[in-house]
Structure 1
Amino acid sequence: MSRTGIEYFDKYILKDGFPDGSLILVAGEPGAGKTIFSATFVYNGAKKFGERGVYISFAETKKEFYEAMKQLGMDFEELENKGLFKFIDLVTVGKEAIDKEIGFLMEELARFQPKRVVLDSISVFAQILGLEKTRVFLHTMLGRFIKAQNSTALLIAEKPVGTEKIGYGIEEFVVDGVIILKYEALGEVSRRIMEIPKIRRRSVERTQYEYVITSKGIEFLEIPELRREEMGYTTERITTGIDRLDEMLGGGIYKGSSVLLVGMTGTGKSTFALHFVIANALQGRKAVYISFEEPMDQIIRAAKNYGLPIEEAMEENLRIFTWIPESMTPVHTFLRIRKIIEEFDPEVLVIDSLTSLRQHMEGKELAKMLRYLGLITKARRITTYFTLNEETNFEVVPFTGASTMVDVIIGLRYHVQDGSIERRMAIVKSRASNHSRKIHKYEITDKGVEIYE
């Protein structure tokens, strides 16, 4: 068997790897990640399993390929120097020389004896050689070599945008497996899907799997599982960073709970969240603040204006991350947040705000991302704040995709009375807590949030 070395793919998708002696078609639209997936297969084969690999390219030169792959953390030059990899450049080959080059190619394969081969791309190859000769090559030359050596070959094929046709329509009839990489439009972004309609001698549980392309290459969405031993409750509470709010909640927030702060612009949602992460960081807990709306310097300045010791907290346990989510799919955003959680291992987390995510994601996709994130934070006992910029009357909470999944909902609102702004707040929901049912007045001062009866 030939495993890809991509942990999720080998563990959940093709558990036994590609069957030995197989030709696998990897088809997809331009930019779907065909080259990255195939190159990863060859690279991991050499790096992790000590198996020689060959990459045959009609698409880019050796220099271009090496430079592009090095940016993804794959050093093919190192493998070549160790005798584990060979790149065969056929970019400039024309029709008049193709027969000669095929002979040279087969001699190189026979001499090098690779366990893994990539042909990039079979579509260009068919353009040069013609359909019938391509079929003969796949059947009698490359196919026989792969089966005789118990090797595995990935054949990359271009799938024209907006069509169901794969390559030239002949490749799928002579291969042992088909993997299709495709796009699905999600508003401003596209979701990447791997579809596996056919793998001989292998069973695939699902036909589709979601993935993203990151600086590490291909990463799949791993659906979190909440094991029984992780589902137990705890009576330990932690502070909100606001003494009066702790009292209103019956002694603070249960560790591992999720909190939704919902209110209009100017109600102080971020200020409540800053109280939370700063106070807990100063009490010795690792804290993470992720902002999709403001750069770090504005967050720091706002905290200092409210008298909150953010710089001291950052010297201790607080980390702040900021980025604009508009160019990322929900999966990409989820994987980035998960990476931060895994690397920093926080006890408290703020996501500010869900409104920014909603502007660039479909509601169903955002709800799915929040559900997965909730499973991770519950398993790790991370107490999490989400902010949402919406008007609330303390009775109806918008965006039920978030409100039904959280443990605590705090509503914030304001109105103008006698020429001045008055702010009001209420704890709309707090599971397993004897919380205040009153509507309270609060102000945002140079000391932060102050809550009154």
Structure 2
Amino acid sequence: MQPIPRSKKARTGVSGLDEILAGGLSEGRVFLLEGNPGTGKTTIALSFLMEGAAAGEQGLYVTLSETENELRDGAASHGLAIDTNIEIFELVPPESLLDAEQQQSLLYSSDLELGETTKAIFEEFERIRPKRVVLDSLSEIRLLAQGSLRYRRQILALKHYFARQNATVLLLDDLTSDSLDKTVHSVVHGVIKLEELAPNYGSERRRLRVIKYRGQAFRGGFHDFIIRTGGVVAFPRLVALEHRREFSREVLTSGIGGLDNLLGGGLERGSSCLVLGPAGTGKSTFALQFVMSAIKRGERAAVFVFDEELGLLFARAKAIGIDLEKMRGEGNLHIEQLDAAELSPGEFAHRVRERVDSANAKTVVIDSLNGYQASMPEENALVLHMHELLQYLNRQGATTILTVAQHGLVGDMKTPVDVTYLADTVVLLRYFEARGRVRRAVSVIKKRTGHHEDTIREFRISDKGLSLGEPLDEFQGVLRGVPNFVGKIEPLLTPNQVSVDHS
């Protein structure tokens, strides 16, 4: 039995969308692109025609709702000029239909309008003979049809006509006349739905989903996308199982002897580490220690900051011997400040992937998950997004360090989102009071990839860097914040005992 040949694909010209569609739109088929006004249908349609024009294919944009000037102005707003290979056919009501004295009453005007509209479209097609066609929009045809049966017959007629001409057609539907009418869904070869979400605060969020694609596997689920100067950019949903890279699972040190001992030698390449603690305990400092160590090994690193202004972070890090600006200037460090109110989870995952794939970053810091959580209110979705992202980074051999700020200062701590089960290593930071001073303690409560110390150590951050003391085995209740001294010696660090090893 001969295998059935697969149809060629027409690329959409939209970054990321062809990956979602497994290569693009099948040539010679009719597709539906639906969404409420403002979701980006026209922008995607223009990109589809311009992609074809760049390949030497003739395109036709049939508009029943927008004028030609509006379409050209919309393209110009993205810095694009509509190619000479693209014809815009503006269908407007005949002047007689706008003149009250010329209107007739013996026949239904919808009969004449629909017939004239269809005839005009076919005549323009015969004149141009395009390979790609956009029809904008079906809402106008639905209103002219004035009935589901007549509307379905009209869509079938359009489909069969374009199929005989081997044209790839994109039908746009703004869902303004009847959003519950699924007539076209059963007729067309594929359906792409665009959605716009309006959070309580921040910019709108857009996402798309492929509802149907006959005879073709595609990437299911919702995919975030944005409209920016230049057009639409889609961010395919990350599936970690599709990405794997061979690497050596070596142990990476931090450069701080006490911290490496606490971690059982260090962090394993291709693993994730979660640093938990209340505000101000030094979570970012612990993460940056591994960044500095990676760059000293000749590797590249990427830091994504949600909560802190970069200028303040640079000054604070330099005060403890970590020169982030120098690392960035030498090209070894990518550091980026993100605005959770303007960023979708899909776009964030895309940015991380870009640094790992193109820049070969081997250490990735996300500081913090509190800010990342603010980019989407659904906590369950956050955990799923983070699960795929961590699995992807692990499979690429990248060491990932996440920070989470817990609520409270001492005593019972509340964690806004529980991702401890996702991380391979969990480091816990705490404040505790001893002899009239607020001190800091660190412990490792989980490590999947090997052994670790089960002790609690005091640590100090000074102008000489990060230093760890001996295990606090003479105290009980350190993690609760108010310990009891039960020993006979003084195990606490004094200011003169601060030392650092950045080798």
TM-score, normalised via structure 2 length = 0.75
Shift of 1:311: 2.9
The separation in 1 between residues aligned to 2:294 and 2:70, in whole angstroms, is 49
> Structure 1 pair 251/95, CA: closer, same or farther in 2 (3 Å)?
farther
Residues 354-374 of structure 1 show CA distances to partners (whole Å, capped at 9, x for unaligned) of 011223422211112212211
Shift of 1:403: 1.2
Any residues of structure 2 matched to 1:60-209 within 5 Å, and which? 60-69=66-75, 75-77=80-82, 79-80=83-84, 84-90=85-91, 96=97, 105-127=121-143, 129-131=144-146, 138-140=155-157, 142-143=158-159, 145-160=161-176, 164-166=179-181, 171-172=184-185, 175-183=188-196, 190=205, 192-197=207-212, 199=213, 202-204=215-217, 208-209=221-222
Q: 2:59 aligned to 49, 53, 56, which one? A: 53
Contact 2:268–2:449 (8 Å) recurs in 1: no
Q: 1:340 aligned to 339, 351, 355, which one? A: 355
Q: 2:379 aligned to 359, 363, 382, which one? A: 363
Shift of 1:296: 1.6
Residues 313-342 of structure 1 show CA distances to partners (whole Å, capped at 9, x for unaligned) of 223211210111123332222223222333
Any residues of structure 2 matched to 1:417-432 within 5 Å, and which? 417-432=434-449
Shift of 1:352: 0.4
Shift of 1:349: 1.1
**Aligned residue in 1 for 2:252:** 238
**Aligned residue in 2 for 1:256:** 270
The separation in 2 between residues aligned to 1:381 and 1:14, in whole angstroms, is 26
The separation in 1 between residues aligned to 2:297 and 2:50, in whole angstroms, is 46
Q: 1:382 aligned to 398, 401, 404, which one? A: 398
> Structure 1 pair 95/348, CA: closer, same or farther in 2 (3 Å)?
farther
* Ranges in structure 2 where 5+ consecutive residues have no aligned partner: 1-6, 99-112, 471-503
The separation in 2 between residues aligned to 1:285 and 1:146, in whole angstroms, is 55
Shift of 1:266: 0.9
**Aligned residue in 2 for 1:247:** 261
Percent identity (aligned):
28
> Structure 1 pair 397/70, CA: closer, same or farther in 2 (3 Å)?
same
* Ranges in structure 1 where 5+ consecutive residues have no aligned partner: none
Q: Which moved more, 1:88-97 or 1:302-311?
A: 88-97
Residues 178-197 of structure 1 show CA distances to partners (whole Å, capped at 9, x for unaligned) of 43333567776646241424
**Aligned residue in 1 for 2:298:** 284
Residues 61-120 of structure 1 show CA distances to partners (whole Å, capped at 9, x for unaligned) of 4454345446657x453x32xxx3222344787773867776554333212111111111
Q: 2:427 aligned to 378, 387, 410, which one? A: 410
> Structure 1 pair 333/421, CA: closer, same or farther in 2 (3 Å)?
same
3-state secondary structure, aligned to 2:171: strand
**Aligned residue in 2 for 1:40:** 47
**Aligned residue in 1 for 2:37:** 30
Q: 2:455 aligned to 426, 434, 438, which one? A: 438
3-state secondary structure, aligned to 2:335: strand
The one-letter code matched in structure 2 to 1:3 is: A
Residues 354-400 of structure 1 show CA distances to partners (whole Å, capped at 9, x for unaligned) of 01122342221111221221122112211111010015999999467
Contact 1:72–1:217 (8 Å) recurs in 2: no
The separation in 2 between residues aligned to 1:236 and 1:14, in whole angstroms, is 36
Q: Which moved more, 1:303-312 or 1:63-72?
A: 63-72
The separation in 2 between residues aligned to 1:63 and 1:113, in whole angstroms, is 23
Tell me whether 1:213 sits opposite 2:226 in the alignment.
Answer: yes
**Aligned residue in 1 for 2:364:** 349
Contact 2:40–2:227 (8 Å) recurs in 1: no
The one-letter code matched in structure 1 to 2:36 is: E
The one-letter code matched in structure 2 to 1:310 is: L
The one-letter code matched in structure 2 to 1:325 is: A
The separation in 1 between residues aligned to 2:415 and 2:184, in whole angstroms, is 51
Shift of 1:19: 5.8
3-state secondary structure, aligned to 1:423: strand
The one-letter code matched in structure 2 to 1:269 is: K
Contact 2:407–2:413 (8 Å) recurs in 1: no
Contact 1:255–1:381 (8 Å) recurs in 2: yes
Contact 1:259–1:386 (8 Å) recurs in 2: yes
**Aligned residue in 2 for 1:309:** 323
3-state secondary structure, aligned to 2:139: helix
3-state secondary structure, aligned to 2:37: coil
The separation in 2 between residues aligned to 1:373 and 1:170, in whole angstroms, is 38
Tell me whether 1:18 sits opposite 2:26 in the alignment.
Answer: yes
TM-score, normalised via structure 1 length = 0.83
The one-letter code matched in structure 2 to 1:270 is: S
The separation in 1 between residues aligned to 2:95 and 2:304, in whole angstroms, is 53
The separation in 2 between residues aligned to 1:349 and 1:93, in whole angstroms, is 62
Contact 1:237–1:252 (8 Å) recurs in 2: yes
Residues 231-277 of structure 1 show CA distances to partners (whole Å, capped at 9, x for unaligned) of 77x44222324332123223322122211111000101111122221
Contact 1:330–1:365 (8 Å) recurs in 2: no
Q: Which moved more, 1:178-187 or 1:111-120?
A: 178-187
Tell me whether 1:322 sits opposite 2:337 in the alignment.
Answer: yes
Contact 2:36–2:176 (8 Å) recurs in 1: yes
> Structure 1 pair 177/391, CA: closer, same or farther in 2 (3 Å)?
closer
Q: Which moved more, 1:265-274 or 1:325-334?
A: 325-334
Name whichever structure is richer in helix by fraction: 1
> Structure 1 pair 46/262, CA: closer, same or farther in 2 (3 Å)?
same
> Structure 1 pair 387/172, CA: closer, same or farther in 2 (3 Å)?
closer
**Aligned residue in 1 for 2:490:** none
> Structure 1 pair 185/315, CA: closer, same or farther in 2 (3 Å)?
closer
The one-letter code matched in structure 2 to 1:27 is: E
